[in-house]
Amino acid sequence: MVEPGELLETCRRLRDEEGFNFLSDITATDYLGWQTGPEGVAGYYGTHTGRDLNAPGSWGLAALPDAKPKRFSVSYHLLKLVDGAPRLRVQVWVDDGEAVPSVVGIWPTADWHEREAWDMMGIPFEGHPNLVRILMDDDWEGHPLRKDYPLGGEPVRFSEEE
């Protein structure tokens, strides 16, 4: 786990000194609703009317999962190209709107990964040369993979949603 301020320095050190010269993936995860109970452990609701079709009948867990430090986590999966393929995950925790420095200068492949994280989760990357929407329409509003964004779609006929 790394603070956003130290991210660039850490990544540079990992790449040059430790030899992790391959960035495999950048993933952003939204932990809104991580510890809520039986309403829907995944935090948000499955259909456009708000009803969750797969709501578990009973919770029954002995312990709720541990709380997370902030709402969003950005995970960098790094790989060293040697025998045995050692991998490393660097995680940065941010709140809504907090910016993360961009690692495009270190691993150019991060370009599109960061654009996707911005598009889907709304995490701004500081220093990214071209932070525009990539998967959704250019004028789309909202960040679809957030937990408070509805799944969308249509109500299924003859189900209880109508």
Partner 1 sequence: MKERRKPTRLRDYGLQSERLLWPGKGPGAFEQEVGVDQLEERLMLTTVEKAVRWSQANSIWPDTFGLACCAIEMMSIVSSRYDIARFGAEVFRSSPRQADLLIVSGRVSHKMAAPLRQIYDQMLEPKWVIAMGACASSAGMFNNYAVLQGVDKIVAVDIYVPGCPPRPEMLVEGIVRLQERIKAGVPPAYDVRGVAS
Partner 2 sequence: MLRTSRGPRIAPERTWAVIDPSILRGEQPIYAGTKIPHPIPSILGLPDELRDSEDVMQVNFGPNHPSTHGVLRLVVDLLGEEIVGLRAVIGYLHTGFEKNMEAKTWWKAITYPARIDYLSFQANELVFVLAIEKLLGLEPPPKATWMRTLLCELNRLHSHLVWLGTSALEIGAISMFWYCFRERDQILDLSELVTGARMHTRYFQAGGLADDIPRGFYDECRKFTDWMPKAVDDYEGLIDRNAIWLERTRGIGVLSAEDAVALGQSGPILRASGVDWDLRKRDPYLAYGEVDFDVPVYTHGDVYDRYRVHMEEMRQSTRIVAQCLDRLEDMQGEPWIADDRKVVLPPREELHTSMESLIHHFKIVTEGYRVPEGEVYVVIESPRGENGCYVVSDGGPRPWRVKFRAPSFVATPAAATLCRGALVADLIAIVGSLDTVMGEVDR
Q: Please check whether residue 2 is in contact with residue 94, taking contact to mean a CB–CB distance below 8 angstroms.
A: no
Q: Is residue 137 a contact residue for partner 1 (CB under 8 A)?
A: yes
Contact 4, 100 (CB under 8 A): yes
Q: What's the full length of the chain, in residues? A: 162
Nearer CB in complex with partner 1: 33/150: 150
**How many residues line the site for partner 2 (CB under 8 A)?**
61
Place of tokens 């599109």: 112
* 69 is a contact residue toward partner 2 (CB under 8 A): no
In whole angstroms, give the CA distance from residue 100 to residue 85. 27
For 7, list phi and psi in degrees, rounded to 5. -60, -45
- List residues binding partner 1 (CB under 8 A): 47, 136-137, 144, 149-154, 156
Q: Which residues bind partner 2 (CB under 8 A)?
A: 8, 12, 16, 19, 21-25, 27, 29-31, 34, 41-43, 46, 52-54, 56-58, 61, 65, 75, 77, 79-85, 87, 89, 104-109, 111-113, 116, 120, 127, 129-130, 133-137, 144-145, 149, 151-152
